Amino acid sequence: MKAYINDTAHSIIKGETILDFVRRVENREAIPTMCQDDRLDNFGSCRVCSVEVAKEKNGSTKTLASCHTPVTEGLYIYHNTDKIKRLRKNIVELVLTDYPTDKLVAPENKAPTEFQKTIAQIGIPTIRYPKGDNHLTIEPDRAHPYIKSDLSQCINCYRCVRACEEIQGEMILNMSGRGFATRIIKGFDTTFDESACVSCGACVQTCPTEALTDKFETKTLIPDKTVQTTCTYCGVGCQLEVAVIDRKIRGIQAPKTAEVNEGHTCLKGRFAFQFYNHPDRLREPMIKKNGTFEVVTWEEAYDFVAKKLLYIKNKYGANAIGGFSSSRATNEENYLMQKMIRVAIGTNNIDGCARVCHAPTAFGMQQSFGTGAATNSIEDLKEADAIFLFGANPLKGHPVTGAKLKQAFMKGVTSIVVDPVKTTLAKLATHFLQIRPGTNVAILNMMAYYIITENLVKQDFIDTYTEMYDDFKNHVLALDMDALSELTGVAKTLVKNAAIAYANANRAMEFHGLGVTEHFQGSKTVMLLSNIAMMTGNVGRKGVGLNPLRGQNNVQGAADMGVQPHQGAGYLDVNDPEIQHYYAKKYRINKMPEKEGLKIPDMLNAAIEGKLKALYIMGEDTIMTDPNTNHSIKAFENLELIVVQELFMTATSKMADVILPASSYFEKNGTFTNGERRVQRVNKVIEPIGNTKPDGQIIIDMMHKLGYTQPTGLTYDAAKIIEEIADVIPFMKGLTWERLGTNGLQWPINADGTDTKTLHVNGAFKKGKGTFHHFDFEESPEIVEHGTNYPFILTTGRELEHYNSGTMTRRTDNQYLLAKDYLEVHPKDAKRKGVTNDDMVKIFSDRGSVTIPVKISKNVKKGVLRTTFHQPEVFINIITGSVGDKETLTPEYKVVAVDFEKI
Amino acid sequence: MANKNIRSLSYRKELDDNLFENITALSKKKVSSKEFHNLAKRFMIDDSVVIGTASFYDFLRPENQEKKVHVCNGTACMVAGTQDQLTEKLSTLVDADKIGHVPCLGHCHKNNAFLYNNHTYSAHSIEALEKIISDTPALENTYYIGSSSTPILTSKIENITEFYTLFESYIKHPEKVIEQLKQSNLRGRGGAGFPFYFKLDAVLKENETQKYIVCNADEGDPGAYSDMYLMEHQAHKVLFGMLIAGKTVGANTGVLYIRGEYPNSIRKIKQAIKQLEDLNLLQHFRFKIIRGQGAYVCGEETALLNSIEGLRPEVRVRPPYPAQYGLFGKPTVLSNVETFANIHWILKHGGAAYAALGNGKSTGTKMVSLDSYFNRPGMYEIEMGTPLKSVIEEYGKGFKSEIKALQIGGPLGGIVPIHKVKDLTLDFESFTNHGFLLGHASIVSIPNHFPIIKFIEHLLEFTADESCGKCYPCRIGSHRGYEMLKKAQNESYKIDRQLFNDLIETLELGSLCALGGGVPLPIKNALQYFEDELKEYFK
């Protein structure tokens, strides 16, 4: 199939527009546009993309907008005729009658906007029209901390309106009025700040003029350089393009070429970078002397730590030392950290923050499938015809994936949400099961029951690729649905319909978050989710599977690198002598520690018991984020040495004996692995701030002091460490720094560098056969022991504006967007307790109490409370408890027995 | 296609709890922003969607909520010169700031038109006006009704039940319906003249369970009132056409989008639907009336679809066409009132019989509206191909005063100078070949004394007022054109002719829809045929 451009024939691609065709054959500048953005549906408002087309050579022509006209076989396209040039110039002249004359070209210190480039290309005409009505006096809106508007420069291209709806899935922006009077409005014709804007900045990025800008004026910067790197917030793994001027970070844009985020990101990735050089950044090594921190040299600090660690090792043995690694650090750094603990110190007491989030996912999926990682890729969303979202609020926690889910939900894909909280996605979903917190196992047993009794199981798949199904089936069929319905608080028919919807889909794709894992029965829930997927054949194809939404940017990677006490790098069992031998050989030492180490909660208990004497903590605020704060403090107080590598003086840093100031992710190289197993590059944007060092460098230095010389040399070089990782971890054989390119690779990465989008393809489970497990619902000890005295169930989650304990986001303007944690209370409970919005209440549990302001919300059921844990002013973990998932000890943040009263 | 999310969310509540109707109801109640917010929340959309829509329509804008009387400022009333006096008299009865405007009420045959309390009137004596304002009587809009050879649309329906029995012989044979319509060569009567069977065929082929029939009864062209006639006097012809079209393509729902300026048409269609219900003739088909809220552009098919959905009625890009992606994104047969009204006759007498009427590719008859400058104004069903001269002389009985030109086919139709009348026959081809447009075949007479400059200023003002604001040429161009024409009449300013030509060309070539793209035709006619009259305004 061919069509002609200026009488020369070129092949056409089915479905492409004339604009696509001409731009593909020639170049982007071949046809100018104003309202067009590749990421948005074609709109046809500016008309400067018009071309002449004819059915035959030199035939009579029609003028058509190329952006929304499909190219057809044999079409003759003339895109640069005098008539077309005149039309474009005349349109520009009209536009300029309502555009500030001092904004036609960029001033010297700014890069031209897209609009300025376009009009320069078409030719800036002299305006012949007499002065008429205009919008030049519209008041600018500068109320929002990040996003500003000056609509006098608006050219009514609607790109912001469309980006808001089509990219973010919000509808904050719209046009108001009609004809010449049309103008952009926000919400109820208010400011960005007053509107329900989620501050993603998609509108700013697409706006071709400076009608919409951000506080950093990112679009018109003339940077010394831009560096693409991977975002440090959340497991989506957005690629960011960071602009640097004068060795300072000046703005961030989302690159359109990024496969993960396709030119989009959220307010954290785009705007919340100011923490990096905040005055609060720790800039010098410090040793606590007589209760106060004193600045020391790196040498002094290293010597102090090494000496103390070796002393403790000699006196109490290596197992008296433990290490906490960080899911915010790079893979290379996590790899080095576990190596330091295992090799230089000689214990398997290494654990990380996956312990408090997705450890049950890794464990549970390993039991069921053989691999503890997402089976599929986010891009599969386009192929799924049912989406099952369990215990996750990705609009807040994983905003870019959340926006994709919201788009699918709004467009009417079959969607099932299980959550104790009526989230926005729950409201949009086809099926919403609002369960009582902690009854996940019960609801999944119910779903399995109905899939079986409605004859919707894929018996072929089960028979060929799985084992132990009959045990599961018999177990489930013996359950009493009425009792489970009573327990979960969800009507049987609702569960049945949801189960049928899931099982009937050709491709049902599951996503889950910490609402699954942070429970007493967390690992069991993961295994039951695996069962549901296997019994309906929803594993091993595009658009299906189990897809954990990873909490932090590198939870997946930290686990891959061996940050857990029972498995080393690549998930090999450290109890196995052969494996010990394997690691010893790879690490070039004689002997690895022989038995598995302690998990974080066990380490804290061991400290209280006096068995653990030293903790080496890299990038974790254990005191603030782990449950039952007083218990953690007690453990810390019992230690002889606490070493903390940190960016800020956190609650944990304050308890340290030695603080080693670390560099942020902007200041180093490495890789992060996102929730879909995609290893992506972290590229150094600026040199380390102050006297800080990358965590990887600190660990290499430390190991050296401890007597182990890192074979890749004494300088932290991510590319070289990747070589070592590729040599150690079997499923990363083909990993190299170069091969990662700009979009990374999804593991398993084969020796030839090819990667893997889908796991367990065609029933080939990693562990051989997929295994069904079966469980009864068991009430959490938290409720059994404390439910009577503390009748409310508190569950915790995240808000969009903040990230976990807020060490970074609180030190940006995000804090102006949301400065408080709130307690969400059902109106009836609020009435009973005599509280209303913004009243302060004391909320207490068996462990202690905190005060927090109230927000009345129908999004929680009666008897359920919800809050967040971002602000140290509240310190919610003072009241959370020590119950954890039986298998992994992941704390049950999601079920806390509490009561509250007005103060 | 933009707005897929909002469209899909609106579809969840579809027509029974319709977003547009909800926005309408709240706007008219003058409620607090909280209630708009609650509506938005209920539909899971944002406030901006709701008020962005409300701000588009004349009847919904907050600033128009105080208006009690709406005086027609349509073309026919304007050239008749009746409205200034009418407004003056009305302002003795109603506060002047409670008098608003509306572009055409279908009283072009007698003018002095205004809308009050959901009724339309023509009155000029102060006594008559007083009585209307105090009593709001239900007065019929009466005018002469005539026809040429074969009355298809103007024939009387004697018995409704019997009229619908035709349904039985076609219900099981959708292909026969399409075959007859194909033979008839019935072309869309909204103005574009697209073969109608083609739309049915295209929608029939779509593999979707939900499909719609939409009747475009947003007869916004000032000067035209034939759809109004059909709805008020021939409702069952329209409904039958929609019903059989629905059964043919597999659609169980028909939406009539009727402009709010025709309150009586809405009442008449409602009554007719009620009759069908009572007579048990609905065949499980669901009719829904959506009342327009004052926006000419809703006569454009894709803007009309957006309007029903509660979106801003901005013109969509094509493709996709409504047959593939129509109402709520579902396959939709969308055509004009008059098109649907023809179907019964075609199916009863056969497509060939219909094709035998008319002239070449323009078959059948055409409703023609004549304004008050005719000696016998009114509604005429004229066989296609009839000389325009005989329409004027035989049916209209000539003019009351000296006429220099006719605007035929609405505000986007050509301006036919009186000396060209003899060259034209009433059909699509004759008009197009002579540089005019049959359009909806309304005829508005421009008397000798009426300045052409004022007439084209009116056309550009109308376009600027009614532009949806989406595409640049129409949004900015029509407004700048209007500003220049006004300035040239009121100041010493002379319009740069080259600039004006450039503007006209930009509108014609660049506009997204027929509004901005169509208004250049009458302006070019005016520039060509009335150059002497216009040249003083140009340099």
Q: Residues A165-212: pLDDT tens digits?
A: 999 999 999 999 999 999 999 999 999 999 999 999 999 999 999 999
- DSSP, collapsed to helix, strand or coil, labels residue A115 as helix
Interface of A with B in 474-513 (CB under 8 A): none
* A607 token code pair: 């400290």
Q: Given A47, A172, A412, which is nearest B48 (Cβ)? A: A172
CA Rg value for chain A? 29
User: Within a domain: residue B360?
Assistant: no
* A881 and A738 within one domain: no
Q: Count how many domains chain B has.
A: 5
- Name the closest residue on chain A to residue B52, using Cα atoms: A176
Q: What is the pLDDT of residue B30?
A: 81
Predicted confidence (pLDDT) per residue in A675-723, tens digit? 999 999 999 999 999 999 999 999 999 999 999 999 999 999 999 999 9
Confidence of residue B61 (pLDDT cuts 50, 70, 90): very high
* B168 and B76 within one domain: no
* A271 and A215 within one domain: yes
Q: Is residue A16 within 8 angstroms of chain B, CB to CB?
A: no
Q: Measured between beta carbons, which residues in chain B are less than 8 angstroms from residue A93?
A: 502
* B109 and B22 within one domain: no
Interface of B with A in 242-261 (CB under 8 A): none
Task: List CB contacts of B312: < 8 A, sequence separation 6 or more.
Answer: A174, A175, A178, B52, B53, B56, B306, B468
* A398 and A352 within one domain: no
Q: Note down the domain range covering B39.
A: 2-55
* A218 and A157 within one domain: yes
Residue keyed to tokens 């593991």: A747
**pLDDT at B171 > cutoff 90:** no
Are A166 and B499 inside 8 Å of each other by CB? no
Closest CA to B460 of B444, B438, B483, B439: B483
Predicted confidence (pLDDT) per residue in B374-422, tens digit? 999 999 999 999 999 999 999 999 999 999 999 999 999 999 999 999 9
Interface test with B, best of A171, A183, A423 (most B CBs within 10 A): A171
* B225 token code pair: 């009132």
Q: What is the pLDDT of residue A235?
A: 94
Predicted confidence (pLDDT) per residue in A23-81, tens digit? 999 999 999 999 999 999 999 999 999 999 999 998 999 999 999 999 999 999 999 99
Are B2 and A43 inside 8 Å of each other by CB? yes
Predicted confidence (pLDDT) per residue in B65-123, tens digit? 999 999 999 999 999 999 999 999 999 999 999 999 999 999 999 999 999 999 999 99
User: Within a domain: residue A399?
Assistant: yes
* A7 and A108 within one domain: yes
User: Within a domain: residue A768?
Assistant: no
Longest dimension (CA), chain A: 95
* A143 and A272 within one domain: yes
Confidence of residue A367 (pLDDT cuts 50, 70, 90): very high
Interface of B with A in 289-308 (CB under 8 A): 295, 297
Are A185 and B51 inside 8 Å of each other by CB? yes
Interface test with A, best of B476, B501, B504 (most A CBs within 10 A): B476
User: Within a domain: residue B265?
Assistant: yes
- Name the closest residue on chain B to residue A428, using Cα atoms: B44
Alpha-carbon distance of B36 to B31, in angstroms, equals 8
User: Within a domain: residue B339?
Assistant: yes
Residue B487 Cα to chain centre, angstroms: 30
Q: What is the pLDDT of residue B151?
A: 95
Q: Classify burial at B274, counting beta carbons within 10 Å of its beta carbon; exposed 0-12, middle 13-18, buried 19 or more.
A: exposed
* A585 and A461 within one domain: no
User: Within a domain: residue B147?
Assistant: no
* B271 and B124 within one domain: no
Confidence of residue B211 (pLDDT cuts 50, 70, 90): very high
* B331 and B222 within one domain: yes
**pLDDT at B13 > cutoff 90:** yes
**pLDDT at A874 > cutoff 90:** no
**pLDDT at B313 > cutoff 90:** yes
* B175 and B303 within one domain: yes
Are B472 and A185 inside 8 Å of each other by CB? no
User: Within a domain: residue A194?
Assistant: yes
Q: Measured between beta carbons, which residues in chain B are less than 8 angstroms from residue A172?
A: 46, 48
Q: Is residue A15 within 8 angstroms of chain B, CB to CB?
A: no
Q: Measured between beta carbons, which residues in chain A are less than 8 angstroms from residue B468?
A: 178-179
Q: Count how many domains chain A has.
A: 5
* B226 and B162 within one domain: yes
Q: What is the pLDDT of residue B169?
A: 86
Q: Given A94, A162, A178, which is nearest B473 (Cβ)? A: A94
* A704 and A791 within one domain: no
pTM (2 d.p.): 0.96
* B460 and B438 within one domain: no
- Name the closest residue on chain B to residue A17, using Cα atoms: B319
- Name the closest residue on chain A to residue B473, using Cα atoms: A91
User: Within a domain: residue B423?
Assistant: yes
Chain A nearest CA to B433, separation (Å): 16
Predicted confidence (pLDDT) per residue in A443-500, tens digit? 999 999 999 999 999 999 999 999 999 999 999 999 999 999 999 999 999 999 999 9
Are B5 and A50 inside 8 Å of each other by CB? no
Closest CA to A891 of A512, A567, A628: A628
Q: What is the pLDDT of residue A9?
A: 97
Interface of B with A in 467-506 (CB under 8 A): 467-473, 475-480, 483-484, 487, 493, 496, 499, 502-503, 505-506
Predicted confidence (pLDDT) per residue in B486-535, tens digit? 999 999 999 999 999 999 999 999 999 999 999 999 999 999 999 999 99
Question: Would you give the DSSP letter of residue A639?
Answer: -
Interface of A with B in 52-91 (CB under 8 A): 63, 65, 68, 70, 83, 86-87, 90-91
Q: Is residue B46 within 8 angstroms of chain A, CB to CB?
A: yes
CATH number, domain containing residue B134: 3.40.30.10
Interface of A with B in 32-51 (CB under 8 A): 40-48, 50
Q: What is the pLDDT of residue A791?
A: 97
CATH number, domain containing residue B211: 3.40.50.11540
Longest dimension (CA), chain B: 70
**pLDDT at A873 > cutoff 90:** no
> Last residue of some domain: B142, B161, B179?
B142
Are A185 and B4 inside 8 Å of each other by CB? no
Are B475 and A130 inside 8 Å of each other by CB? no
Are A179 and B473 inside 8 Å of each other by CB? no
**pLDDT at A871 > cutoff 90:** no
**pLDDT at B231 > cutoff 90:** yes
**pLDDT at A781 > cutoff 90:** yes
User: Within a domain: residue B425?
Assistant: yes
* A869 and A756 within one domain: no
Q: What is the mean pLDDT of chain A?
A: 96
Alpha-carbon distance of A664 to A686, in angstroms, equals 10
Q: What is the mean pLDDT of chain B?
A: 96
Closest CA to A67 of A115, A113, A34: A34
Question: What average pLDDT does the segment B187-213 reach?
Answer: 94
* A405 and A350 within one domain: no
- Name the closest residue on chain B to residue A163, using Cα atoms: B2
Chain B nearest CA to A514, separation (Å): 26
Alpha-carbon distance of A888 to B57, in angstroms, equals 61
* A880 and A795 within one domain: yes
- Looking at chain A, the whole-number percentage of residues with pLDDT higher than 90 is 96
Q: Given B5, B487, B502, which is nearest A411 (Cβ)? A: B5
* A705 and A578 within one domain: yes
* B279 and B168 within one domain: yes
* B315 and B350 within one domain: yes
User: Within a domain: residue A539?
Assistant: yes
CB pairs under 8 A between A and B: 180
Confidence of residue A868 (pLDDT cuts 50, 70, 90): confident
Closest CA to B225 of B25, B386, B334, B75: B75
Alpha-carbon distance of B69 to B100, in angstroms, equals 6
Q: Note down the domain range covering A805.
A: 781-902
Q: Measured between beta carbons, which residues in chain A are less than 8 angstroms from residue B11?
A: 412
Residue keyed to tokens 């307790």: A833
Interface of B with A in 337-376 (CB under 8 A): none
Q: Is residue A180 within 8 angstroms of chain B, CB to CB?
A: yes
Task: List CB contacts of B6: < 8 A, sequence separation 6 or more.
Answer: A165, A171, B45, B49, B309, B310, B311
- Name the closest residue on chain A to residue B62, using Cα atoms: A177
Q: Given B46, B465, B496, which is nearest A128 (Cβ)? A: B496
User: Within a domain: residue B316?
Assistant: yes
Predicted confidence (pLDDT) per residue in A503-559, tens digit? 999 999 999 999 999 999 999 999 999 999 999 999 999 999 999 998 889 999 999
Question: What average pLDDT does the segment A750-762 reach?
Answer: 96
Question: What average pLDDT does the segment A640-644 reach?
Answer: 98
Alpha-carbon distance of A587 to A569, in angstroms, equals 11
**pLDDT at B190 > cutoff 90:** no
Are A68 and B318 inside 8 Å of each other by CB? yes
Confidence of residue A805 (pLDDT cuts 50, 70, 90): confident
Closest CA to A525 of A426, A658, A419: A419
CATH number, domain containing residue A40: 3.10.20.740
- Name the closest residue on chain A to residue B44, using Cα atoms: A428
Are B479 and A133 inside 8 Å of each other by CB? yes
Q: Given A50, A179, A181, which is nearest B510 (Cβ)? A: A50
Are B479 and A68 inside 8 Å of each other by CB? no
How many other CB atoms sit within 10 Å of the CB of residue B84? 10
Predicted confidence (pLDDT) per residue in A582-605, tens digit? 999 999 999 999 999 999 999 999
* B351 and B220 within one domain: yes
- Looking at chain B, the whole-number percentage of residues with pLDDT higher than 90 is 94
Its sign, for the CA torsion A270, A276, A280, A285, is: positive
ipTM exceeds 0.90 = yes
> Last residue of some domain: B142, B165, B180?
B142
* B249 and B395 within one domain: no
How many other CB atoms sit within 10 Å of the CB of residue B342? 26
* B181 and B97 within one domain: no
Q: Is residue A166 within 8 angstroms of chain B, CB to CB?
A: yes
CATH number, domain containing residue A143: 3.30.70.20
User: Within a domain: residue A776?
Assistant: no
Q: Measured between beta carbons, which residues in chain B are less than 8 angstroms from residue A45?
A: 470-472, 512
CATH number, domain containing residue A812: 2.40.40.20
User: Within a domain: residue B171?
Assistant: yes
Chain B nearest CA to A190, separation (Å): 9
Predicted confidence (pLDDT) per residue in A715-744, tens digit? 999 999 999 999 999 999 999 999 999 999
Alpha-carbon distance of A580 to A566, in angstroms, equals 12
Q: What is the pLDDT of residue A587?
A: 96
> Last residue of some domain: B447, B479, B508?
B447
